[in-house]
A and B are shown apart, each in its own frame.
Chain A
Amino acid sequence: KQEVTQIPAALSVPEGENLVLNCSFTDSAIYNLQWFRQDPGKGLTSLLLIQSSQREQTSGRLNASLDKSSGRSTLYIAASQPGDSATYLCAVQTGANNLFFGTGTRLTVIP
Chain B
Amino acid sequence: NAGVMQNPRHLVRRRGQEARLRCSPMKGHSHVYWYRQLPEEGLKFMVYLQKENIIDESGMPKERFSAEFPKEGPSILRIQQVVRGDSAAYFCASSPSGSGSYEQYFGPGTRLTVT
Report if A and B associate in a common complex.
yes
- Using a CB–CB cutoff of 8 Å, the interface residues on chain A facing chain B are 4, 31-32, 34, 36, 41-44, 46, 49, 51-52, 89, 91, 93, 96-104
* Cβ-based interface call for B69 (8 A): no
Contact B91 A99 (CB under 8 A): no
* Cβ-based interface call for B25 (8 A): no
Picked from A34, A43, A46, A99, the residue with its CB within 8 Å of the CB of B45 is: A99
Interface residues on B, range: 20 to 34
Contact B101 A93 (CB under 8 A): yes
Q: Smallest CB–CB gap between A102 and chain B, Å?
A: 6
Contact B101 A32 (CB under 8 A): yes
Known interface pairs A32-B101, A97-B56; A103-B42 also in contact (CB < 8 Å): yes
25 A-B residue contacts at CB 8 Å?
Answer: A31-B101, A31-B102, A32-B101, A41-B111, A42-B108, A43-B91, A43-B106, A44-B43, A44-B106, A46-B103, A49-B103, A51-B101, A89-B42, A91-B43, A93-B104, A96-B58, A97-B33, A97-B55, A98-B56, A99-B33, A99-B35, A99-B93, A99-B104, A100-B45, A104-B42
Picked from B43, B58, B93, the residue with its CB within 8 Å of the CB of A89 is: B43
**Told that A43-B91, A43-B109 touch, could you supply 8 new A-B pairs with CB distance under 8 A?**
A41-B111, A42-B108, A43-B106, A89-B42, A93-B101, A97-B56, A97-B98, A99-B43
The 6 A-B pairs of least Cβ separation, nearest first, read A98-B45, A31-B101, A43-B108, A103-B42, A44-B106, A101-B43
Per-residue 0/1 for B22-64: is the Cβ within 8 Å of any A Cβ (1 yes, 0 no)? 0000000000010100000111110010000001101100000
Q: Smallest CB–CB gap between B35 and chain A, Å?
A: 8
Residues of B within 8 A of A41 (CB): 111
Contact A98 B42 (CB under 8 A): no
> Quick one: closest B residue to A34, CB to CB?
B103
Residues of A within 8 A of B43 (CB): 44, 89, 91, 99, 101
> Quick one: closest A residue to B34, CB to CB?
A98
Residues of A within 8 A of B105 (CB): 46
Q: Smallest CB–CB gap between B104 and chain A, Å?
A: 6
